[in-house]
C-alpha cells in the first residue's frame, strides 16, 4: 500500500470514536453554539474517548470554527472532521484540524446503488475514482502519521463485491481506517457481523475497521457489538444515542457492554473513564434540549432504581442479585454533605467533588454566588439543584445579543394577561408591552415586539417544556424552549426547508422568569447563527450531505 496505516489501535483495544458533535448534532433542534461544543468536547476529553468527531467544517462557518477551536483546545485525543469526497470539502476540514496534535480526517461518499442513482446521480466507477482521488489528496496533505478514514455511506445496502473493491482501493490510496456505516439502521446483528468480517478479512491487516450504526430498528448497539465480535476495532457512537432520526449507537451502552462482558469480546480494552458517563449524559441532554428517557439503559433516571419489594430486598442483601454494574461505576453518586445559605465555599467545593465535578477558581466562585442566592429562596439545596446550576453554567459561554433586564405581568383567571419587558438588544435598551392568553404568552409577545426592530426577526416558539428539578413546593423550574427565526417561516407560518431550530434553557424558582430566560437564550443562539458563532445543523450539515 502507498499510505502509512496511521497510529492504529493497540492489540486487544477498541477505539472509541465519539460523533456526538457531528452526527449527534444533526438531530433537528440539537444545534450547539461554539462555546457549548467546546464544553462538550472538554467533557468527552475527561471521559477519555479516543477520537472526538467535532463537526463538518464545509457545512457552515460555525462548524468550521467549532472544529478548529476544539482542535486547539484539546491534546492527546484525536480530532476528526467530516468531509465529502468533493472539491473544497477535504481542504476545509484539513484547515480546521491541522492545529490538532492528532488530526483525523473523515472522508465519505455513498456507495449503494440507491444513493448513487438517486442522490449522487453517478456511477459505481465514478464514485470509486472520487474516493481514491480524495484519500490520496488527504494522505499527501496530512502526511503519514495522521488518520485518514474513509466511510462508504450506506455500506450495509451496498453490493458486497463493489464495497470490498472500494475499501481495497482506498486503503491502497492511503486510508488508515475504513468505516462501514449502517446509514439507515437497516442491518441486523448477524448480517452486520458477517459484513464486518468480510471487510476485516479483506483489508483488516492494513487498516483499522470501524463501524457506525444508526438506530432505526433499535439495533444500533447490538449491531455495533456484533461487529466488534467480528473484528471491528473502532466504534462510532454518541452520548445518549443522540443523532438523526432514531439516533446513533449509544456510547454509554457500547462502553458498558464492553466493560461488563469483556469475556465476550476478543478485543475489549477501552480507556474510557466510565465514572464520567452520567455527567456527559446530563451535559449533552441539557445543552441540546433532548431529554433522556427514564428507562434509557445506563443513564436513564430509572436505570438503577429498584421499585419492587422483591428487587429491593435482593439488592439490600447483595447488590449482585439485581445489579450487573454499580451506579458508582457510571458516575451516579449520592452525596452526604448538605448545602444551605450558611455553607462556605470550601463546603460547596467538597459537595461538588462528591457529585463528580472538580471545581475551583472563577468557576467555583460563580457557582458559589448562584448557590447562595438560591439558598436564600430555598431552605436546603438538593443534589439535583446543584447539578442543575452546573448544567446552566455550561450553557453561558456565548455572547448575548439580547439581555433581559426586567419584566412584569398581570394575569387573572379568565381575564387574559398583559405584560411588559425591558431588554437590551445589541447594547441598546428597549421595552415593549403586550397581551396574551397567559402570562408567558404575553411576555413572549412583548419580547418579540422589543427585539424585532433591531434584529429584523423575532423568535418563534416551536416547543416548550417545563419540569421541576427536584421535589417540593420551592423546587426550581427548568424550562426548555425550541425556537426558529420568524424570517425562516413561509407566508403560511410553516418553517422553510432546513430552517434552523435551536434550544434555550432557563432555570429559576420563578417559572415565569425561567420561561423568559429560556426564550431569550434561544433567541441569542439564533442571533449567534447569523454571526457564525453557532452551527446550524438543520441548515448546514444535513443539506451538505446530499
Ligand atoms: O450515517 C452515515 O452514513 C454517516 C457517514 C457520514 C459516516 O454519518
Ligand atoms: Zn451517521
231, burial (CB in 10 Å: exposed 0-12, middle 13-18, buried 19+): middle
**Which cell is 273 given?**
473513564
State the average pLDDT over residues 244-260: 96
Q: Which CATH architecture has domain 15-294?
A: Alpha-Beta Barrel (3.20)
- In order of 441, 487, 527, the CA distances from 447 in angstroms are 10, 16, 14
| Per-residue pLDDT reduced to its tens digit, 102-117 | 999 999 999 999 999 9
**Which cell is 115 given?**
444513493
**185 touches ligand 1 (CB under 6 Å):** no
What pLDDT was estimated at residue 274? 97
Segment holding 453, helix H or strand E: helix 439-455
Residue nearest to atom 5 of ligand 1 (CA): 153
**183 touches ligand 1 (CB under 6 Å):** yes
What pLDDT was estimated at residue 292? 94
State the average pLDDT over residues 365-382: 85
Per the model's pLDDT, the better-predicted residue between 438 and 8 turns out to be: 438
**181 touches ligand 1 (CB under 6 Å):** yes
| Per-residue pLDDT reduced to its tens digit, 275-306 | 999 999 999 998 998 999 999 999 998 888 77
Distance 263 CA to ligand 1 centre (A): 30
State the average pLDDT over residues 125-142: 98
Distance 29 CA to ligand 2 centre (A): 17
What percent of the chain shows pLDDT beyond 90? 67
The full set of domain ranges for the chain reads 15-294, 309-394, 402-531
Q: Which of 13, 1, 92, 4 is nearest to 55 (CA)?
A: 92
**108 touches ligand 1 (CB under 6 Å):** yes
**401 touches ligand 1 (CB under 6 Å):** no
| Per-residue pLDDT reduced to its tens digit, 517-530 | 999 999 988 888 77
What pLDDT was estimated at residue 540? 43
Segment holding 531, helix H or strand E: helix 511-531
| Per-residue pLDDT reduced to its tens digit, 468-496 | 887 777 788 899 999 999 999 999 989 99
Half-sphere exposure of 104 (CA within 13 A, CB side): 26
Residue nearest to atom 8 of ligand 1 (CA): 23
Residue 441 has pLDDT above 80, yes or no: yes
Separation between Cα atoms, residue 27 and residue 45, nearest integer Å:
22
Q: Residues 6 or more apart from 113 whose CB is under 8 A from it?
A: 124, 158, 159
Per the model's pLDDT, the better-predicted residue between 104 and 498 turns out to be: 104
**Which cell is 219 given?**
439495533
Residue 542 has pLDDT above 60, yes or no: no
What pLDDT was estimated at residue 4? 40
Residue 504 has pLDDT above 50, yes or no: yes
Q: Does the fold of domain 402-531 match that of domain 15-294? A: no
Could you identify the atom of ligand 1 that is nearest to the CA of residue 82? 6
Helix (H) and strand (E) counts for the chain? 17, 14
Q: pLDDT confidence of 533, banded at 50, 70, 90?
A: low
Residue 541 has pLDDT above 60, yes or no: no
**151 touches ligand 1 (CB under 6 Å):** yes
| Per-residue pLDDT reduced to its tens digit, 3-22 | 343 447 898 999 999 999 99
State the average pLDDT over residues 132-140: 98
Strand partners, 428: 425
- In order of 105, 276, 336, 388, the CA distances from 282 in angstroms are 29, 10, 21, 9
Q: pLDDT confidence of 317, banded at 50, 70, 90?
A: confident
Residue nearest to atom 1 of ligand 1 (CA): 183
Q: Probe ligand 1: pick from 109, 110, 212, max atoms within 8 Å of CB?
A: 212
Q: Confirm if 52 and 43 have CB atoms less than 8 A apart.
A: no
**Which cell is 172 given?**
491502497
Per the model's pLDDT, the better-predicted residue between 506 and 536 turns out to be: 506
Q: Which CATH architecture has domain 402-531?
A: 2-Layer Sandwich (3.30)
Residue 375 has pLDDT above 80, yes or no: yes
Mean pLDDT over each residue of the chain, to the nearest integer: 90
What pLDDT was estimated at residue 313? 76
Q: Residues 6 or more apart from 495 whose CB is under 8 A from it?
A: 462, 484, 488, 489, 501
Going edge to edge, which strands form the sheet with 477-485? 459-468, 477-485, 502-508
Residue 539 has pLDDT above 50, yes or no: no
| Per-residue pLDDT reduced to its tens digit, 35-48 | 889 999 999 999 99
Q: Confirm if 22 and 30 have CB atoms less than 8 A apart.
A: no
What pLDDT was estimated at residue 385? 85
Model-level pTM? Answer: 0.87
| Per-residue pLDDT reduced to its tens digit, 378-433 | 777 888 888 888 877 776 655 678 999 999 999 998 888 999 999 999 999 999 99
State the average pLDDT over residues 310-318: 76
**153 touches ligand 1 (CB under 6 Å):** yes
Ligand number nearest CA of 157 is 1
Residue 537 has pLDDT above 80, yes or no: no
Residue 28 has pLDDT above 50, yes or no: yes
Separation between Cα atoms, residue 117 and residue 241, nearest integer Å:
30
Residue position matching grid coordinates 462501514: 180
Q: Which of 80, 137, 130, 140 is nearest to 109 (CA)?
A: 130
Amino acid at each position: 500500500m502507498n499510505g502509512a496505516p496511521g497510529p492504529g489501535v493497540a492489540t486487544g483495544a477498541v477505539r472509541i470514536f465519539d460523533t456526538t458533535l457531528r452526527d449527534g448534532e444533526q438531530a433537528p433542534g440539537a444545534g450547539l453554539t461554539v462555546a457549548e461544543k467546546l464544553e462538550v468536547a472538554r467533557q468527552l476529553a475527561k471521559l477519555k474517548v479516543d477520537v472526538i468527531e467535532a463537526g463538518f467544517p464545509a457545512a457552515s462557518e460555525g462548524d468550521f470554527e467549532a472544529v478548529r477551536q476544539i482542535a486547539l483546545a484539546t491534546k492527546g485525543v484525536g480530532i476528526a472532521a467530516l468531509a465529502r469526497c468533493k472539491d473544497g470539502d477535504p481542504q476545509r476540514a484539513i484547515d480546521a484540524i491541522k492545529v490538532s496534535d492528532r488530526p483525523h480526517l473523515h472522508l465519505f461518499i455513498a456507495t449503494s446503488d440507491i444513493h448513487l442513482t438517486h442522490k449522487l446521480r453517478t456511477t459505481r466507477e465514478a464514485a470509486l475514482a472520487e474516493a481514491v482521488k480524495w484519500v490520496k489528496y488527504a494522505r499527501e496533505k496530512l502526511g503519514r502519521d495522521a488518520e485518514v478514514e474513509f466511510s462508504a455511506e450506506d455500506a450495509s445496502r451496498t453490493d458486497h463485491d463493489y464495497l470490498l473493491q472500494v475499501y481495497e482501493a482506498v486503503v491502497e490510496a492511503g486510508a488508515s481506517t475504513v468505516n462501514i456505516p449502517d446509514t439507515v439502521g437497516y442491518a441486523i446483528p448477524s448480517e452486520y457481523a458477517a459484513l464486518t468480517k468480510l471487510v476485516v478479512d479483506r483489508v483488516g491487516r492494513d487498516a483499522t475497521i470501524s463501524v457506525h450504526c444508526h438506530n432505526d430498528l433499535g439495533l444500533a448497539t447490538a449491531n455495533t457489538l456484533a461487529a466488534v465480535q467480528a473484528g471491528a476495532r473502532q466504534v462510532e457512537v454518541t452520548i445518549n444515542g443522540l443523532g438523526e432520526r432514531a439516533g446513533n449507537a449509544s456510547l454509554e451502552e457500547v462502553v458498558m457492554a464492553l466493560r461488563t462482558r469483556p469475556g465476550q469480546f476478543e478485543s475489549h480494552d477501552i480507556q474510557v473513564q466510565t465514572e464520567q458517563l452520567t455527567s456527559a449524559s446530563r451535559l449533552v441532554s441539557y445543552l441540546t434540549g433532548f431529554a433522556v428517557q427514564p428507562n434509557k439503559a445506563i443513564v436513564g433516571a430509572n436505570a438503577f432504581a429498584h421499585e419492587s419489594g422483591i428487587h429491593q430486598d435482593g439488592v439490600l442483601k447483595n447488590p449482585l442479585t439485581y445489579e450487573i454494574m454499580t451506579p458508582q461505576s457510571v458516575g451516579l453518586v449520592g452525596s452526604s454533605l448538605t448545602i444551605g445559605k450558611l455553607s462556605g465555599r470550601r463546603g460547596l467545593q467538597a459537595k461538588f467533588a462528591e457529585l463528580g465535578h472538580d471545581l475551583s477558581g472563577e468557576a467555583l466562585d460563580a457557582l458559589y454566588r448562584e448557590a447562595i442566592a438560591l439558598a436564600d429562596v430555598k431552605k436546603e439545596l438538593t443534589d439535583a439543584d446543584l447539578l442543575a446550576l452546573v448544567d446552566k453554567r455550561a450553557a453561558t459561554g456565548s455572547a448575548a445579543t439580547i439581555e433581559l433586564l426586567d419584566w412584569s405581568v398581570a394575569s387573572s383567571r379568565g381575564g387574559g394577561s398583559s405584560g411588559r419587558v425591558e431588554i437590551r438588544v445589541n447594547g441598546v435598551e428597549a421595552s415593549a408591552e403586550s397581551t396574551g392568553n397567559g402570562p408567558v404568552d404575553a411576555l413572549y409577545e412583548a419580547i418579540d415586539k422589543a427585539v424585532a426592530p433591531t434584529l429584523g426577526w423575532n423568535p418563534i416558539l416551536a416547543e416548550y417544556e417545563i419540569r421541576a428539578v427536584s421535589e417540593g413546593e420551592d423546587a426550581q423550574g427548568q424550562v426548555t424552549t425550541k425556537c426558529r427565526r420568524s424570517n425562516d417561516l413561509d407566508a403560511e407560518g410553516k418553517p422553510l426547508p432546513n430552517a434552523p431550530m435551536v434550544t434555550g434553557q432557563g432555570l429559576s424558582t420563578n417559572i415565569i422568569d425561567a420561561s423568559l430566560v429560556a426564550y431569550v437564550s434561544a433567541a441569542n443562539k439564533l442571533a449567534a447563527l447569523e454571526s457564525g458563532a453557532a452551527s446550524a445543523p438543520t441548515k448546514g450539515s444535513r443539506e451538505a450531505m446530499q
